[in-house]
Structure 1
Amino acid sequence: MFQPEAVPSGGAMSASLRPLTIGVIAIITCAAFEAMAVVTAMPAVAAELDGVSSYGLAFSMYLTASLLGSVLGGIWSDRRGPRPALASGLGLMVAGLAISGTAPAFWIMTSGRAVSGLGGGFMIVAVYVIIARAYPQRMQPVVFGWLAAAWVVPSLIGPYISGVLAEQASWRWVFLGVAPVVVAAFLLVWPRTAQLAVPRQGGPLDSAARGRVAMGLLLAAGVFAAQFALTRIAADGFADPVPAWLLVVLGVAGTAAAAVAFPRLLPAGTVRLAPGLPSVIATRGLLTVTFFGAEAFVPLMLVSARGLSASTAGLALSAAAIGWSAGSFVQARVSFRRQWLLVIGASLLSLCIGGLALAAAAQVPFWVLVVVWSAAGFAMGLTLSSTSVLVLKLSPPHEQGRNSAALQLSDQLGGVIGTAGAGGLFALLRDPEAPGQVPVFVAIWLALCVFAVVGIVAGLRATRGDRDPLPATSETRKVPFQE
């Protein structure tokens, strides 16, 4: 069986690993392009298929299904290795893209997004497990740095290509055009994964695995119920009191279900910031709450308060993507204990969010805000790539899938909480007669900054765990990491 320590010294682009490395990067590039392109094309989709009132469901359905896919993919990868989850994820993602691209009605398109999301959840966890088992620990920071860099080009050209396709041809090609590229990336990865060791042979699910499946279903159902209720209330208001109150009950019940299920899918102690691995995963979630919640309102502030065009406002987001890639590049070359990168990244992000509030003033030049937000992207690249490396390093082989799934859940829900919370605060504070009020945006960013500050605490708690395990060998990889 293939062992990571047998990899030639040439690195991740050595002859034996090059197809796998290129394939993994291509898979992430496809996922990134789809994410950036779909956002751009969705207004055209909603207009043609009469789905404006259900616009948010196109995104929430993908997210909800990806949460479930991450949980199931983690269990499957730990029991059977990453190949079944990877193959199933590919099939589901391609099927979902085909359904969305040929949908005659908006509800069918959103169903396709759910199928794609389920496949995406399977695939991303499988990719993490492949990295854990195919590359020695010394190479993993570099690989995760490349995965972060894989988002740069889609972030720069994805919206433009999607817009051209939607305007000059059809929005359907935004979905259909990605599918063949995903298949090509899969074909590069698949042959190499045949030699990866499977630490635990499959069999009937034990009680713990069945419990995780049940909690995954409860989490997905809760998130969907809460977002569906919020979407319908936002679209229809309280004009009809009875359905409105039923939606409120549904939203509260969904939130409660998600709150019950989510902690049970994470390592014990994550919510209370226990030292070591739990705090690593908690840091990831806290920083995604901060960054994605703030980023959602950067273009809106620039357009409404400063009168910039949407394309000019998008430069700030492109700068953040470049900064993210630079941060990932730097983290791959550190020589000190990696947990301290979490503290450094969270501290820098908190300063950037505070700086964003100061730079929002009209007299501050636009380029200053671009620099501040690119530094925020640098902080995220530095920190999130490090959390990916640390989760694999601190996980025994038979828990790499489960803990990778927990990291993805923290990441995904962090983005949801950040954007939904910021959106709720915006709706509460904004004055419809003065949409460009800067103090409203400042209040949002300062509120989000609190999560980054807690992220500093979580990073410090992560440093208090046991020292990093010894470099992986065929012997040490059989010994579970003890907190």
Structure 2
Amino acid sequence: MTEATTTAPRLFSGSHLPLALGVIGLVTLSAMENRAVGTALPTMVREFDALGSFGLANAAPNASFVFALAVAGLWSDRHGPLRTLRLGAITFGLAQLLVGFAVAMPMVIAGRVLSGIAEGLLDVSLLVLVARALPAVLRPRMMSLISAMWVLPSIFGPLLTGIITEQFGWRWVFLGAVVLLIPTWLLLQPAIRQSQNAPEPERTAEHAAELAASRTALPWAAAISVALFTLTLTGDHLATHRVLGGTVVIVALAVLAVAAVRVMPRGVFVARRGFPSVVAIRGLGGAGFTGVSVYLPLLLTLQHHFSPSKAGISLSVTGVFWAFGSWLQGREHRFQRVNVLRTGLALMTVGIAVTSLLAWTDASVWFGLSGWAIAGIGMGLSASSLSVLMLDLSNAGNSGRNAGAAQMGSVMSIATVVAVTGTLLALNAANPQPWVFGTIVTFGAVLTGLGLLVAGRVRQGLE
């Protein structure tokens, strides 16, 4: 046995163990809170007699998340990840306390806004901390675990939240997260001390220019948040206010387009080789997959007469396949990272195309859902691979901005696609025909297919 073999670093041993456990804990808490709201929110709006605020409570964190990503990327590169991480943890705790002790719906909405800010701060700072504290060989497995920690709450979160809500009340869903935040934060302390002792990255003139550009982009990030918030609200009411709503949607999309050009790295919209292609693919793949997953339960309920619980369970199972794909990505294999990405995007495209048969034909429901399971494996492979490639194409001086840009591009793409497809559904809400759902699902396959075509440009940036 060679010395290289005996000294190979491991994620769950030695000095890397506290970081791995702390990151897993924080990501799991954030994911559980994110997924639990969907189960608890109906009870909350009924208790506060505020059914009309349901859409607002759902849209609030998405809007604040985008702006938080821009701020987190700038702060992490300028001051290191620790200040941003601490602020994210504090904001997360305040958000849960605000919702947990809410006496009226405005307090809940304010807490949801803070949740979006906390998620943006934590997501970026944790990625930067991983990039600085872990050797490159361990990053794929860490990205795989981070992805899995989002998938598992999607499977078990609704059930656990339902039990807590029924047995103890919905407030303990949020107050319990505050209690768990304390030991999770303590687990991160060794990694935080290690990061504090690490040498500061060299600040070049290029880095200074990039930081200045990031500061200039902050107002545009705020404009994106407002535009996404407006799109979400308007799409829900377009059927009853078509002229006014349509005008607002067009204006919001125009603002979003102009602002996106200002905040995204140069070359993203033409998929320039290297990091811009990573951002483009993340946006295309995320929008394609999530844009389908949002409407699939409704398709199963309306067109195939599934009960709501049955539709939800059938889709929760696909989380297992996402986790499986993410696990495969983290394994040691002989394939290059870009080839893993291509495989994931190909599986997503084929899987979503098969899923579209649920709308276009009378094919077996379980055959269609098998396609969705394939897409889940592809999403697990591609999402984690994109995170690894993002870190590989970044350095200590720009990893924060790159992480923020990659996530911001994904969030913008997903929110825009959901808003546009939601508008299509709203215009046909009285009697949605199979072609409506068929168009939505097929569009998702087109987006992931475009991502597959762009994947080769990532390899060119690595050469």
Q: Do the structures match in fold with TM over 0.5?
A: yes
Structure 1 residues 237 and 350: CA distance shift in structure 2, 3 A: closer
Amino acid at match of 1:136: P
What does residue 395 of structure 2 align with? Answer: 396
Question: Bigger CA drift: 59-68 or 338-347?
Answer: 338-347
What does residue 463 of structure 1 align with? Answer: 459
1:201: how far off? 7.6
1:215: how far off? 2.4
Alpha-carbon deviations, 1:198-218, whole Å to 9, x = none?
32589xx96653542342333
Q: Distance in 1 between matches of 2:134 and 2:64?
A: 29
Amino acid at match of 1:105: A
1:443: how far off? 1.6
Any gaps of 5 or more consecutive residues in structure 2?
Answer: none
Amino acid at match of 1:231: L
What does residue 317 of structure 1 align with? Answer: 315
1:223: how far off? 3.1
What does residue 407 of structure 1 align with? Answer: 406
What does residue 185 of structure 1 align with? Answer: 184
1:300: how far off? 0.9
What does residue 346 of structure 1 align with? Answer: 345
Q: Distance in 2 between matches of 1:201 and 1:190?
A: 26
Residue-pair matches, total: 453
Conserved? CA contact 1:350–1:453, under 8 Å: yes
What does residue 101 of structure 2 align with? Answer: 102
Q: Distance in 1 between matches of 2:115 and 2:333?
A: 36
1:92: how far off? 0.6
Match of 1:307 among 305, 308, 327: 305
Q: Distance in 2 between matches of 1:404 and 1:64?
A: 18
1:140: how far off? 0.6
Conserved? CA contact 2:66–2:224, under 8 Å: no
Amino acid at match of 1:285: G
1:439: how far off? 2.9
Q: Distance in 2 between matches of 1:206 and 1:97?
A: 36
Amino acid at match of 2:391: L
Residue 442 (str. 1) matches residue 444 (str. 2): no
Identity of aligned residues (%): 32
Structure 1 residues 128 and 226: CA distance shift in structure 2, 3 A: closer
What does residue 112 of structure 1 align with? Answer: 111
What does residue 263 of structure 1 align with? Answer: 261
Match of 2:226 among 205, 224, 227: 224
Greater helix share, 1 or 2?
2
Conserved? CA contact 1:330–1:382, under 8 Å: yes
Say which SS state the counterpart of residue 426 (structure 1) adopts.
helix
The Cα RMSD (Å) is 2.6
Say which SS state the counterpart of residue 138 (structure 1) adopts.
helix
The within-5 A match list for 1:59-208 is: 59-196=58-195, 197=198, 198-199=200-201, 208=210
Alpha-carbon deviations, 1:5-46, whole Å to 9, x = none?
9x9634011121111101111111111111111111111122
What does residue 278 of structure 2 align with? Answer: 280
What does residue 21 of structure 1 align with? Answer: 20
Structure 1 residues 230 and 296: CA distance shift in structure 2, 3 A: closer
Conserved? CA contact 1:343–1:456, under 8 Å: yes
Structure 1 residues 183 and 422: CA distance shift in structure 2, 3 A: farther
Q: Distance in 1 between matches of 2:218 and 2:77?
A: 16
Structure 1 residues 425 and 248: CA distance shift in structure 2, 3 A: closer
1:237: how far off? 6.5
Q: Distance in 2 between matches of 1:252 and 1:440?
A: 21
Q: Distance in 1 between matches of 2:227 and 2:152?
A: 35
Structure 1 residues 226 and 465: CA distance shift in structure 2, 3 A: closer
Any gaps of 5 or more consecutive residues in structure 1?
Answer: 468-483
What does residue 297 of structure 1 align with? Answer: 295
Conserved? CA contact 2:61–2:116, under 8 Å: yes
1:107: how far off? 2.1
Q: Distance in 1 between matches of 2:67 and 2:404?
A: 10
Conserved? CA contact 1:293–1:420, under 8 Å: no
Structure 1 residues 428 and 34: CA distance shift in structure 2, 3 A: same
Q: Distance in 2 between matches of 1:386 and 1:10?
A: 20
Say which SS state the counterpart of residue 441 (structure 1) adopts.
helix
Conserved? CA contact 1:345–1:383, under 8 Å: yes
Q: Distance in 2 between matches of 1:37 and 1:87?
A: 23
Alpha-carbon deviations, 1:213-244, whole Å to 9, x = none?
342333233332453365257449667x9xx8
Q: Distance in 2 between matches of 1:404 and 1:186?
A: 22
Structure 1 residues 146 and 232: CA distance shift in structure 2, 3 A: closer
**TM-score, normalised via structure 2 length:** 0.90
Alpha-carbon deviations, 1:52-81, whole Å to 9, x = none?
223222122111111111111111111221
Conserved? CA contact 1:267–1:406, under 8 Å: yes
1:376: how far off? 0.7
What does residue 447 of structure 2 align with? Answer: 451
Q: Distance in 1 between matches of 2:372 and 2:189?
A: 38
Conserved? CA contact 2:238–2:426, under 8 Å: no
Conserved? CA contact 1:266–1:403, under 8 Å: no
Say which SS state the counterpart of residue 385 (structure 2) adopts.
helix
Amino acid at match of 2:12: M
1:362: how far off? 7.1
Structure 1 residues 281 and 444: CA distance shift in structure 2, 3 A: same
Amino acid at match of 1:103: A
Alpha-carbon deviations, 1:74-112, whole Å to 9, x = none?
111112211101000000111011112222222221111
Amino acid at match of 1:324: W
1:254: how far off? 3.8
1:344: how far off? 2.0
1:357: how far off? 1.2
